[in-house]
Amino acid sequence: MNPFRYARPSSPSAALTDFAGERRARYVAGGTNILDLMKIAVESPPLLIDINALALSSIEVSGDAIHVGALARLTDVA
């Protein structure tokens, strides 16, 4: 993997500010895809923004719709 900087913002606005400062950055949540691609040099972002501290993992049922947050884990959704 290329050397990179790591940030773990604690709010969505902070995450967007981090991204605005480095447009080649990538977000990381579970890491299953981005880290795999970085290991084979398909992706080489200079900055990884870890969004796991953001409160986005809710799974809510309302009426006949299920709202799945961006950080909801696949096993939890299942």
Partner 1 sequence: MLSRRRFFFRAAISALAAEIGLRFRAAAKRPILHPNDPPAPALPAHTITIDVNGVERTLTVEPRVTLLDALRDCLGLTGTKKGCDQGTCGACTVMVNDRRIDSCLTLAVMHAGDRVVTVEGIAQNGTLHPVQRAFITHDGFQCGFCTPGQIVSAVALHNEGMRLDRDTIRTEMSGNLCRCGCYPHIVDAVLEAAGAS
Interface with partner 1 (CB under 8 A): 1-6, 8, 28, 30-32, 35-36, 38-39, 48, 50, 52, 75
Nearer to partner 1, 62 or 75 (CB): 75
CB of 55 vs partner 1, minimal distance in Å: 16
Q: How far is the CB of 67 from partner 1 (least distance, A)?
A: 22
* CB of 28 vs partner 1, minimal distance in Å: 7
Q: From CA 24, how far away is CA 15, in angstroms rounded?
A: 14
